[in-house]
Amino acid sequence: MNIDDWLMEILVCPACRAPLRADEEASELICTGQSCGLAYPVRDDIPVLLLEEARRPGATS
């Protein structure tokens, strides 16, 4: 997963507006909001920030 640092600084969760952190192993961006925690997939180094594509915490792919 290759996302520029400047882009990571401005990306936020579409659901709660909290910052996102990269999970390289899972190839996902994880919401840092305590009540949210949604995981957004990254496909071909492009973050897919759609609520329909997000995975709930604890759910399997």
Q: Domain residues of the chain, as ranges?
A: 5-53
Structure confidence at residue 61 (pLDDT): 56
Tokens of 47: 């973050």
Q: How far apart are CA 60 and CA 12, in angstroms?
A: 22
pLDDT digit string, tens, across residues 10-47? 999 999 999 999 999 999 999 999 889 999 999 999 99
**Residue 58 binned pLDDT confidence (cut-offs 50, 70, 90):** confident
User: Strands, DSSP E only, in the chain?
Assistant: 20-23, 28-31, 39-43, 46-47
Query: What are the residues whose beta carbons fall under 8 Å from the beta carbon of 7, sequence distance 6 or more?
Result: none
User: Is domain 5-53 classified as CATH 2.20.25.10?
Assistant: yes
Q: Return the closest-CA partner of residue 2 out of 55, 57, 47.
A: 47
pLDDT digits (tens, 9 = 90+) for 1-12: 899 999 999 999
Question: Rounded to an integer, what distance in angstroms lies between the CA atom of residue 59 and that of residue 11?
Answer: 23
Per-residue model confidence (pLDDT) at position 49? 97
Q: What is the pLDDT of residue 1?
A: 85
